[in-house]
Amino acid sequence: MKNSMLLLLGAVAVSGCSGIAAQSDSLQLANRMFVLSAVDGKAVTLREGIRPGISFDAGLKVSGVMCNRFFGQGTLEQGQLKVPQMASTRMMCSDPQLNEWEQILNSVLMNGAAVKVSKQTLMLTGSGHSLEYQAQTQP
pTM of the complete model: 0.79
Residue 3, pLDDT above cutoff 90: no
Higher pLDDT, 86 or 22: 86
Q: What's 30's domain CATH number?
A: 2.40.128.270
pLDDT score at 26: 77
Average pLDDT over residues 84-109: 90
Percent of the chain at pLDDT above 90? 61
Please give the Cα distance from 139 to 136 (Å, whole number). Answer: 9
pLDDT tens sequence across 38-79 = 999 999 987 667 789 999 999 999 999 998 999 999 999 999
pLDDT score at 122: 97
The per-residue pLDDT of the chain, averaged, comes to 83
* Structural domain containing residue 109: 2-136
Residue type for 96, please? P
Residue 87, pLDDT above cutoff 90: yes
Handedness of CA 16, 20, 26, 29 (dihedral sign): negative
Percent of the chain at pLDDT above 70? 79
Quick check: 65 and 59 in contact, CB under 8 A?
no
Task: Tell me the residue length of the chain.
Answer: 139
Handedness of CA 54, 40, 66, 72 (dihedral sign): negative
Higher pLDDT, 15 or 60: 60
